[in-house]
Structure formats: structure tokens, C-alpha cells
Amino acid sequence: MTRPLRTAAVFFVPVVAWACYLFLLLPSVIVFPISFGTGGEFEFPPRAFSLELYRQFFTDAAWWGAMTQSLMIALMTALATTVLGLPAAYALQRASLPGAGLINGFIMGPLLVPVIVLGLGLYLQFAPWNLLNRDVSLFLSHTMLAVPFMMISVGASLRHLDPTLENAALIMGASKPAIFFKVVLPQLKAGIAAGALFAFLISFDEVIVAYFVTGPETQTLPVKMYSAMRWELSPVIAAASTLVTVFSILLAIGIMMLQRKEKQQ
Amino acid sequence: MTKDTFRISRRSFTKGAAVAAIGLAAPSVITGRARAADKSITVTSWGGDYHKSVEEVFAAPFTAETGIAVQLVDNGDMAKVKAQVLSNSVTWDIIDAPAAFATSGAKENLWEPLDSTLVATEGLLEKPNALYMPLYLYSGGILWNTERHPDGKHPVDFAGFFDTEKFPGRRCMRSLAPETLEAALVGDGVQPKDLYPLDVERAFAVLDRLKDNISKFAATTPEQVTSVSQNEADFSYSYYNRVKSAQKSGTPLDFSFAQTNNSLDFFAIPKGSKNKEAAMQFIAFCLRQDRQTAWALRGYYLPNTLKSVEEIKASPNGGFLPDLASGKNVVINAEWWGDNYTTVQKRYSEWMIS
Amino acid sequence: MNAQMKPPVAPSASSPLDKEPALAHLAEPSTPNAAASDAMIEVRGLSKLYNGVAALSDVTLSVGKGEFVTLLGPSGSGKSTLLNLISGMTTPTAGKILINGTDATTLPTNQRGLGMVFQNYALMPHMTVFQNIAFPLQVRKIGKDEIRQRVMDVLKLIQLEHVADRRPRELSGGQQQRISLARCIVYNPPLILMDEPLGALDKKLREGMQLEIKRLHADLGVTMLYVTHDQDEALTMSDRIVLMRGGKIEQQGTPEALYFKPQTVFSADFIGSSNLFPGKLSKDKGGLMLRCAAGAFDVPAADGAFVAGSAAVLLVRPENIMVETPADASGRQQIAATLKDTVVLGGIVRHFLETPAGEQIIAQELNQPNRARLMRGDAVKVSWRVDDGRLLPAERA
Amino acid sequence: MSSASDVSFLSPRSATLLVAPLGALLILFFAYPLILTVWQSFYEGGFTLRAYAELATSTLFYKVLRTTFVISFTATLVSLLIGYPVALHLSRQSPRKRTFYLMLVMLPFWTSILVKSFALTVLLGHSGIVNQALGFISGGTIQFPMVFNRFGAIVGMINYLLPFMILSILGSLLAQDGNLARAAEVMGAGPFRIFRKVTLPLSMPGVIAGIIINFTLSIGMYITPALLGGRQDMMIANLIDFYTRQTLDWPMASAISVVLLLISGALVTILGRVRGGAGVMGVA
């Protein structure tokens, strides 16, 4: 290999990586200044800076109501995804179930079906069962969408988990539930946190299924933004989005600090 | 007005009855259950500022007057209505339906027939159908940026919009066929009164000529506005109310009333609604002159009640009303689109992507 | 010279369930045998099939209280399966397991009260050393103060008190294995299973740990069942070795018995190194004689199983073989051979020889200074005392 | 011989109990709606193939299907080409730094896809930041049309897709034994050879998983391409939406969904068979 080629190779990976980080970040970052605009229009750079959009957001119950609704649905989704997905992932890893491959494929299914197909199907199903406009229908639908991510994330952690640890605990006299909570769970923390975060974000940003399933009391922020788009592109969504971004970053930093503290112990 | 609901509602009730008596609403609707304070109807809406206007202009005053609560639900689109009707679990009482929606809904047999008294309502600009009631009209026309295209440098009518030699520049158009085909035909010289039935072939021929100058097909109104404000297009087909709010925030946009397409928006009652009577009562209420005037002023719409039109025209704020009598403006024929929407929209989509 | 799975040949390899007492058929008398009542483990007619393939077939075994028994055998011989069955991590297809006098055949693992040490230590990475050792005590709902006391005691016993607050991954392999042992003995299980516990350690550490485990065994009086595929380890540590092959017990007995009195070619070959001369027996004067490719040898007196005309294998351990220059010939079993190679292993010298018939022979002797060296290619005589030979039944193909 | 590899820690019965709640959820909220959809595509008051027959002759459907594939394929390929070096970069960082960089990768997830689409028009538009910078550098001569065309659609999509690709490749890179690359290095292999012979083949399960996830997400997308794409960038999901919400022709919408399902099913099956694809499903 010639020297210039080698030099190019050395720089190739970091340069591409940094360009990519920039590309991923910019659209999110640019929303920040937009959110401090004067209101009325989506503009960059704003003509003047103000907190007008935030004032509009917090004084309009439809906005912050949708935001709290979204937060609640997303939290419930993250919780349900963990509660339902974790035992299943563990069972599939630690038992030789007949047809485990098929079960796996089935669980991964929601990842492989275009969401609009599911949106209509769910609507057709919920309408006669009088399940529309219920928080429970929405967060369970979102759970269905998010479960594959939990399975992938926890599955990766489980594969690194040495099964002899569980056998060792068993021989030492621990019950299987105790083993799950004291031996398995602590070691899956990172995987669960990642999976739950994914579930949270998927629910928080999901438009299409939510559009079909929600009603007036269950309207989520993305649906509110989406329907607002029909008549106006209210720059309030920039403020809403900034709030969400800041909130999520704080959440992520919190999780990171928690993990670090745990490591130091 | 929204406060102290119960006390006022008795008084308003008599007032409402009086209004009904002069023919704006059917007396039969008022009798019976109107006093039931626990009653509630659900009306669909479209989110954002539109939702707020309906709340302010129609829903809250109606509740204040009748004691019937009005719940507004966003995104009451046709698919949801059909699913409710099919599954016999109708939870909505009034559907706010744009033209194509109202007419297709009728074909799909989704609507409850309106009360005969309601259908017989007099003094309306557009006559009601047995299944759906026209509530107001909204005007679509040409939008431009006043800084990049000062007077004389932008089209004001459809002929100008389709004339790329006179007004070179990028166009933004709707991704839907209704209004677009009308604009094309009028732009090609067809008189608005001779439009229907639409000459679809001719319309597409006109669109073909413009195609290279179209930089964006917008699925939503905000996209039309942002495409011009962010310099992705020079002229766009758009709607005045949206332009108005952009103007308010200082964006240098303007809209021409020289020539507009005026589309109807309807109220219809889905088959199997459990609150039919209250729903009819609400529709009658919305057609009242004062409500229609308030609605038109709030959202820059053309009211469907003639007296309201006259009232606004006489006022200093009436500049936004298109003159339907001038012969230049188009009223979109909902029935024609009801019969042809699917075929023509498919063809339009195909044309768009090829 | 053949350690593959083959059908067993030794009469001792298995015994029917109804034959009592369990070890009655054993030829070796020196086994610290135990009556059924004070056996820690009693395994009767145990079989395990995986997808129709027998991993263990009809095994009967008894381990006395306080005994140190090693399960030895190559991969796939069934020793780990047997261990898993005793620990309860898998259930038998047939047979019975008694632990400490009670039927444990279907008892869940966590109710068997066992201890186990794993090859990969199986320490919880998310717990400190202290928490790891305290775990089995917490499971037993023992009070905080007592836990602290007992954990510190065992840490003292293994001389690792200073690492109590560290995480396992900060420790060396040997330290981790000692923690693993400590975690096992802290709750005084009457029976400790060890699954190749020293397999991941280097030679020097391994030898140190072997002694430490022996010391603990002696101090605690606990019963230990130890699995290994390393014959030296088995010979060093065990009271008794159970040699397994193809899902059955090939032979069991004390290390001496297995070394000096193997009953099958497999046993002879697996434990220690060996020279094997397959041939045919014939009558010669008062005794028997084996005719094989290398020549005809007198064989030691043997029981009635060996008769003239039958096939047999003669085993001679390398250390019993003398390598001499032809002049030194004296009245022993003697064959001519050529020296192919000599390897010096510190105190021991190993000669690799070949007979004119092409058979390989290994001889071993102590390395002594001032000794005349044989050169590669030298023609020599190899010889052994007739009594040092051992007659084995021929392997059935 | 490992002591536990041939032993199941959980009995089939308790495992079934643990999987059952999730199974029930998925049957109710995933399988049942899908069955309804399939049923819908064949049943209009009686069994009929009307929708499929109409699809078979619809040039609009074929065109949109082709567009969807071209766009999805391109978006997937581009995010693979970008995502791989990024995953490689991430895998070479210390855990602490990696957490930081991973946050950069995850950040786009925190921003609503709707907002991001508008932000991208601000960035890439005619008077957008990028074009203004280009104009400034070139003295106003150079401008690239970057939104409201296919480029814009794909840029918007990969902004959404990239994190999925990066994370799934990173997973299989981190699972690799560092000794293998070191061994290859000792044997005298240059960095390119090590990458080609060791790192790349071992990361194939992650690559394939990333491709599958990206592709299936792509073919179901429509809001981003609609907001950022040009007139020709109509996606199949758009067409489903059209039949679902605008013309109420649900048998057609369902039939298109069924076709889409079959295609993504076939894709998963084919890619799943590629070496290493067994790990695609994540858990097994």
C-alpha cells in the first residue's frame, strides 16, 4: 500500500464518523434557536429572540396536555415493554422451547410490518371493542411496536450473560425468582435501560398508530403536531421539541451517571 | 358567556327558541331534550388553530345556550368514520367534512339524513344536500413573496399562474387533484361557470405544460406557505387564512383575491349517531347569522349564510370576501368530485410521479 | 493408544440395578467403600438420553461420606452429565439418585443443599467478593451479623481478607477460584461438586490449588465429587477415581489400583503412559505366553479369564522397561529395538524405540549423571520383569 | 465440556408462562389486526380478488412500488456505507468516550421526525444554511437543490435510519474477540486485510440485521419523503394512506399491505439465510 493511501485510510473512519455525528445532530440542534423565535413562523435564524413560543406552549392546555399525555403513554410503554419483554427474552434464551425460532420471528414481527398497515388494522379491531380513545389501547399498541427493540437490546445483554452464574446460584439454594432478580436482572440493567429508552422514544415519536388510536383525551404530542400541520405549521412545535430534547438528554445523562456511580461502588 | 353556564342556559334557551322561530333553526329540534344539562355531542375537527376557532365560535356558545356539552375530536377522517359506522360503534355525532369527504361518505352510505326542516333552511349561499349541510367556503388562490416578487412581478390569477413566460419562477401546487384541475382549466381560459363537468383531458394537458416549473407538490397548507417563505418556490397555490397568520408574524407574503377557488366545507351526521337531535340542533346553531359572521371573521372564510355575507361586506373588514358574483371566482362542485374523485386523483398521482 | 469411545470391555463397567451392594463386583479391595447407610451419594442404574443418544447409561455408583471421589474421563464420557444429574440441573431418563440418604432424583437443584465449584468460577460480576460469598447465606435468610462473621472467617481461611470489597474481575484467576471455593464452603454443604475447577489455571497455580483443595477437604471433612479430564490431577487428589467411558463406568478404584492394576486397555491407556502388546496367548511350560508382533513373551500369572488361544494385550509401563546395550543382556523378557529418540524431562529420561516389526515402545528411567548416553539409531535391547507386565483382555473392535 | 450447555435452566412450562403475556399482547395487538387486514383484502361481502386484480393492472401501483424500492434500497445502502465506519469508530473508543458519542448518535431520536423534517429544509433548502455557505464561498455561483427532490427524501430518511444501522453493527463489532484481530496482526496482516478477513465477516450478522431493519423501516415510511421529497418520491405507504383515508377503498389498501408484507417477509427470509443471518432475530 502506498503511503498516501494508508494516510487516507487512517483518516477515513474518524472523518466519516464526525461528519455523520454532525449530520445527525444538526437538524436537532437547529431547532433550539428556532424555538426562541418570536412566534408566528418557523424561521431560522429568528428575527428576534424571545420566549414567546414557550409561553404559548405552557399557556395552551392543548399543547402541554398533549405533552404530558405523550410522556405518560411513553412511560407506560417503556414499563410495559420491560415487564412483558424481559421475561419473554429470558425464557427464550434459557429454555429450549419447541418452536422458539417461530416465537422469536413472531415477536420481531412488528419491526417488519409497515406501521400504516398496523394502524388501520388496529383501528378496525378497536372500534367494535370500544377500545378507541383509551390510554390502554394506545400504550399497548406502542408496546407491541417497541417490544422488538427491547428483545434485541436485552437479547444482546443476555447472550453475554454466563448461564453458569444462574446454575451456581441455583446450587447455592436460591429460588428461580430470586435468581432472576438478584443475579440476572442486575447484569441486564444496561440492556434493559437501553431497551426501555428505545421503547420510550418510539412511543414518544410515534404518529401513525397514535393517529388512528387516539381520541380527544388521549391525543399525544406527535398527533397534535401532525394535525396542527394541516392548518398551520405552528413554531410552537419547535419549543415542544426543544423541551423534549432537553428532557431526554437529561434523562440519558441521569442514566449514565447512575451507571457510573454503580461501577464505582 | 361561557361562565355561569346553568343560569344563562335557561335564558339562552328562550333566546334560542326565538331564533329558531324566525327560521334559522327547526323548532322541532329544540323541543325535547335540549334542556338536559348532562347531554353531550362529539364533533370532529382538524387540530391546531382551526380546532380553537370551532371551540370559540361554535362549541362554547352552543353549550352556554343549550347546556349541551360539545366535545371536539381532532382528525375525524373518513377512514375512522367508516370504521365506526361499519362496526356499529359510532361515537361521533357531527363530522366536519371537506367536500370530497362529504360526497364520498354519502356514496359509502355513512351519513344520517338531515332533518327536513334543516334541509329546508332558507337564506343559504349553497343549498344543503339531504345528507350534508354546507357550512362555509374557503378560498384558495395565489400566494407570493412580496420582497422577491413585488407588484407586477407575480401572477394574481390562474391564467398568470399557468403562464410561465410572463411570470417565470418555481410553482408549488397541491398534491390533490380537486381545485388544481379547476385552476388549470381556468388558467387555460375556461370560464368558471362552464367548468363542470370538468374536461379532465384538457386539464392534464395544461398541467403537462406547467410541470417543469413545479418545484413542489405540497400535501398540507403549511408546506405551501413554507415553500414560498423559505424560497423553495416562487408562487404557490394556497389559502388566505394561512397566509394571513404568516403576514401577522412579519413574513413578507401576500395572497390574491382576484381569482379564487372556493371549496365547501360540510357538517354531516354519521349513521348510527346516538345524539342525532342535538347534532341537528348544533348544525342549525352554526348556521345562525351571528355565528357565521364570527366564524368568517375569525378564520377569513366565506360564510354560507347570505345575511352574514352581506353583514361582513358592509363592514370595513370585508376585504377578504371573494365576490362569487363576479364570474371570475370558482365554486368547487362537490357533487362532481364525489363521483370522480377516486379516478381523477389516481390519475393525478400517477401524473405527479411520472 | 486409543481413547475414542468404544463399547466397554471390562466386566466392571456396569452392573445391573438389582446387584447389591453396589460395589460388590469391584475387583479392587482397597476402596474406602461404604455401606449404603453412610453413603453421601448413591446412584443406581442412572441413564440419560439426549435426543435418543445415551449420554449416560445405567450407571451405579456410591460415594461415602467424607470421601474425595474423582470422575475422570475424556470429553463425552458422561462425567459432566453425571455431575449435572447429581446437581439436579438435568433430570435422569432412568434410575435413582440418593443424596445423604434421601431420594433426590426429582428434587429441584436448589433444595439439594449442595455446593459446586465451576471451571469458570461463576462469580457474580455485579457483586463484590464479600457479596459473592454472602450470597448463599442471604439465600438462607441468615442474619446480617452472622453473615459478616462467616464471610470474614472463610476469607481468612483462604487468606484473601484484603480483597473483600473488590469486584471479581479485579482479581487473578487463582484468587477468583479461591473465592469461588470460599463461597462454596461458607454454607457448609455436606457435598461439594467440582467441575474441572482448575482447568483454566496455569500449571503452577493448579498444583498449588490442588494442595489447597486437599487441605480443605481434610480440614472440613466434606464429601467431594471432582470432575476432571486430567489424569495427573485425579491421581494426585483422589481417594478414589471413577474412570468413565462412553457413558459408563470403565473402572473405579484408588489411584494406585487404577495405575498399577488397570483392567482394560482403555484404563491402562488413559492413566499413565503405557506400552501395549496385543497378541495371542498360548500355553508354554507351566504358564502362558503371549505371541505378538514384537516376539513371544512370558506373561504374569493371570486369572481364569485368560486361556490359551484367546487374544490378549500385554501392558508394560515405561518405567518398568530397561533399555540396554546388547552386551548387558540378562535373563529377562527381551526384545531387540532401535532407539529413535530420547527426551530428557528434568529428572526423567524418556526413550522412544521401535522394534524390527515396527512397534513403538516407550521406556522411562531416572535421569542420572555420568551415565553412558545412548545415541539415536543405536541398536538396543529392551526388557522388563515378567511380573511387571500385566495382562489385559483384548479390545473388541 | 461445559456443564450447562446441554441443560435448560427453565422448564418448557415455566418458559411458556414467561412468554405467554407477551404472546397474548402480540396476538391481540399484532396478529389479529394483520389477519383483519389480510381478510379485508379478500372479502367484500364475499370472497373476491377484485383488489388484487386492480393492483395487477395499476400502473400507479407499479410505479410507486418501484420508487419505494429504489428509495429504500438507496437509503439503506447509504446508511450502511456511512453507518459502518461510524460503528467502527465507536467500537474503537474507550467505553466512556463511546457513551458520549453514542449520545450524539441517539440525539436525533429525541427530536420529533416532523420537526426534524422542517429543520432539514431550513438546513438544506434554497436559502438554507448549507447553500448560503456554499454561496458565500463560491461568491454566489454554486447552489445545490437539496430538498424537494429525491436527494432530500433520502437525506431525511437516512437521518432517521442511521442510528438503527449504527447500533446494530456496533453490537456485532463489540461482541468480537479483540484477540482475533490481534492474532491476524501478529501473523502479518495489514489493517485492510484484517478488516476484510476478520472484522468484516464477523460483523455480518449486525450488518444484515441493520439492513433488514433499515429496509423494512424505509418501505413503511412516508411522512419524511412526502415532506422532503420531490413530486416523484411517492412511497407505497402513501398509497396505502390514500386508499385508507381518502377513497375508503380498504380492500385495496389491505391488498397493498399484503403485497408489502410478502415482500418484506421474503426479504427477511432471504437475508436471514445469508451466513450469520441467524442472529438477525436478535434473541435466539
The pLDDT of residue A230 is: 63
User: Does the beta carbon of C195 lie under 8 angstroms from any beta carbon of chain D?
Assistant: yes
Note whether D3 contacts C76, CB cutoff 8 Å. Answer: no
The 10 Å Cβ neighbour count of residue C338 is 13
Residues in contact with C122: Cβ distance below 8 Å, sequence separation at least 6, in sequence order: A162, A164, A165, A167, A168, C180
Distance CA A211, CA A223 (A): 6
On the question of pLDDT at C10 being above 60, the answer is no
Please report, for chain A, the start and end positions of each structural domain, with discontinuous segments joined by +.
61-264
User: Does the beta carbon of A132 lie under 8 angstroms from any beta carbon of chain B?
Assistant: yes
Note whether C76 contacts D7, CB cutoff 8 Å. Answer: no
Note whether C89 contacts D3, CB cutoff 8 Å. Answer: yes
- At residue B102, what are phi and psi to the nearest 5 degrees? -65, -45
The pLDDT of residue C150 is: 93
Q: Minimal CA–CA distance to B267: which of B128, B167, B169?
A: B128
The pLDDT of residue C249 is: 92
* Between A76 and C299, the higher pLDDT residue: A76
On the question of pLDDT at C367 being above 90, the answer is no
The torsion of the CA quartet C323, C326, C327, C328, rounded to 10 degrees, works out to 30
Residue of A165, A172, A176 with shortest CB distance to C136 = A172
- Average pLDDT over chain B, rounded to whole? 82
The pLDDT of residue B271 is: 92
Average pLDDT over residues A221-237: 74
Average pLDDT over residues D179-206: 77
- Percent with pLDDT over 90 in chain D: 21
Write out residues 134-163 of A within 8 Å (CB-CB) of D. Answer: 140-141, 143-144, 147-148, 151-152, 155-156, 158-160, 163
Residues in contact with D124: Cβ distance below 8 Å, sequence separation at least 6, in sequence order: D130, D131, D146, D147, D152, D155
The pLDDT of residue A146 is: 92
Average pLDDT over residues D206-233: 84
Interface-testing mutation among D3, D16, D19, with chain A (most A C-beta atoms within 10 A): D19
Interval B71-108: pLDDT, tens: 888 777 787 888 888 878 888 899 999 888 888 888 88
User: Does the beta carbon of A248 lie under 8 angstroms from any beta carbon of chain D?
Assistant: yes
On the question of pLDDT at A116 being above 50, the answer is yes
The pLDDT of residue C331 is: 52
The pLDDT of residue C18 is: 37
Q: Answer whether CATH 1.10.3720.10 is correct for domain D59-275.
A: yes
Write out residues 190-219 of A within 8 Å (CB-CB) of D. Answer: 201, 205, 207
DSSP D43: B
Note whether C187 contacts A175, CB cutoff 8 Å. Answer: no
Range scoring the smallest mean pLDDT among B115-129, B204-218, D17-31: B115-129
Domains of chain C: 16-260 (3.40.50.300), 288-393 (2.40.50.140)
Interval D249-261: pLDDT, tens: 888 888 998 888 8
Range scoring the smallest mean pLDDT among C100-104, C256-260, D43-47, D193-197: D193-197
Range scoring the smallest mean pLDDT among A35-39, B66-70, C195-199: A35-39
The pLDDT of residue A75 is: 93
Task: Give the DSSP H or E segment for C56.
Answer: strand C53-64
The 10 Å Cβ neighbour count of residue A179 is 21
The 10 Å Cβ neighbour count of residue A22 is 11
Average pLDDT over residues D3-31: 81
Average pLDDT over residues C362-375: 78
The pLDDT of residue C396 is: 62
Specify the pairing of strand B235-239 against strand B171-174.
Answer: parallel
User: Does the beta carbon of A39 lie under 8 angstroms from any beta carbon of chain B?
Assistant: yes
- Percent with pLDDT over 70 in chain C: 86
- Average pLDDT over chain C, rounded to whole? 82
Range scoring the smallest mean pLDDT among A71-80, A216-225, B215-224, C246-255: A216-225
Distance CA A183, CA A179 (A): 5
Distance CA C62, CA C37 (A): 11
User: Does the beta carbon of C118 lie under 8 angstroms from any beta carbon of chain A?
Assistant: yes
The pLDDT of residue D98 is: 85
Q: Under a CB-based contact definition with an 8 Å cutoff, are residues C46 and C82 in contact? A: yes
The pLDDT of residue A56 is: 85
Residues in contact with C347: Cβ distance below 8 Å, sequence separation at least 6, in sequence order: C366, C367
User: Does the beta carbon of B339 lie under 8 angstroms from any beta carbon of chain D?
Assistant: no
Average pLDDT over residues D183-211: 79
Average pLDDT over residues C361-371: 81
Confidence band for C12, pLDDT divided at 50, 70 and 90: very low
Out of 3.40.50.1220, 1.10.3720.10, 3.30.420.40, 3.40.1190.20, which CATH number does the structure's domain A61-264 have? 1.10.3720.10
Whole-prediction pTM: 0.77
Average pLDDT over residues B224-229: 86
Interval C176-209: pLDDT, tens: 999 999 999 899 999 999 998 888 788 888 888 8
Measured in angstroms, the CA of D158 and the nearest CA of chain B are apart by 21
Residue of C89, C196, C229 with shortest CB distance to D7 = C89
The pLDDT of residue C2 is: 43
Confidence band for C126, pLDDT divided at 50, 70 and 90: confident
Give partners of A (≥3 CB pairs < 8 A).
B, C, D
Note whether C195 contacts D6, CB cutoff 8 Å. Answer: no
Average pLDDT over residues B199-225: 88
On the question of pLDDT at D190 being above 70, the answer is yes
The 10 Å Cβ neighbour count of residue A23 is 16
On the question of pLDDT at C87 being above 70, the answer is yes
Specify the pairing of strand C191-195 against strand C223-228.
Answer: parallel
Note whether D59 contacts B350, CB cutoff 8 Å. Answer: yes
Note whether B51 contacts A128, CB cutoff 8 Å. Answer: no
- Percent with pLDDT over 70 in chain A: 86
* Between C83 and C293, the higher pLDDT residue: C83
* Between D271 and C123, the higher pLDDT residue: C123
Most confident range, picked from A47-61, D65-79, D83-97? D65-79
The pLDDT of residue C243 is: 93
Query: Do B and A share at least 3 CB pairs under 8 Å?
Result: yes
Interval C35-48: pLDDT, tens: 445 789 999 999 99
Task: Give the DSSP H or E segment for C153.
Answer: helix C144-157
Measured in angstroms, the CA of D234 and the nearest CA of chain B are apart by 7
The three cell numbers locating residue B280: 341537528
The pLDDT of residue B8 is: 38
Q: How far is CA B125 from the centre of its chain?
A: 14
* Between B17 and B175, the higher pLDDT residue: B175
Write out residues 306-325 of B within 8 Å (CB-CB) of D. Answer: none
Measured in angstroms, the CA of D23 and the nearest CA of chain B are apart by 26
The pLDDT of residue A88 is: 93
Write out residues 16-55 of C within 8 Å (CB-CB) of D. Answer: 50, 55
On the question of pLDDT at D2 being above 90, the answer is no
Most confident range, picked from A28-37, C216-225, D96-105? C216-225
The pLDDT of residue B33 is: 40
The pLDDT of residue D187 is: 75
> Following DSSP, what letter does each residue of C311-378 receive, concatenated?
EEEEEE-GGG-EEE-GGG--SSEEEEEEEEEEEEETTEEEEEEE-TT--EEEEEEE--TT-PPPPTT-
Average pLDDT over residues C299-310: 78
The pLDDT of residue C223 is: 93
Distance CA A170, CA D74 (A): 51
Contacts of A234 in chain B (CB under 8 A): 48-49
User: Does the beta carbon of C107 lie under 8 angstroms from any beta carbon of chain A?
Assistant: no
Interval C106-115: pLDDT, tens: 888 888 888 9
The pLDDT of residue C180 is: 92
State the burial class of residue D46 (Cβ atoms within 10 Å of its Cβ: 0-12, 13-18, 19+).
exposed
The pLDDT of residue D140 is: 67
> Following DSSP, what letter does each residue of A62-129 receive, concatenated?
HHHHHHHHHHHHHHHHHHHHHHHHHHHHHHHHHS--TTHHHHHHHHHHHHHS-HHHHHHHHHHHHHHH
Measured in angstroms, the CA of B221 and the nearest CA of chain A are apart by 6
Interval C38-86: pLDDT, tens: 789 999 999 998 888 888 999 999 999 999 999 999 988 899 899 989 9
- Average pLDDT over chain D, rounded to whole? 82
The pLDDT of residue C327 is: 56
The pLDDT of residue A131 is: 67
Q: Under a CB-based contact definition with an 8 Å cutoff, are residues B264 and B134 in contact? A: yes
Interval A118-166: pLDDT, tens: 887 887 787 767 666 678 888 999 999 999 888 888 887 888 788 889 9
The 10 Å Cβ neighbour count of residue C246 is 21
On the question of pLDDT at D141 being above 60, the answer is yes
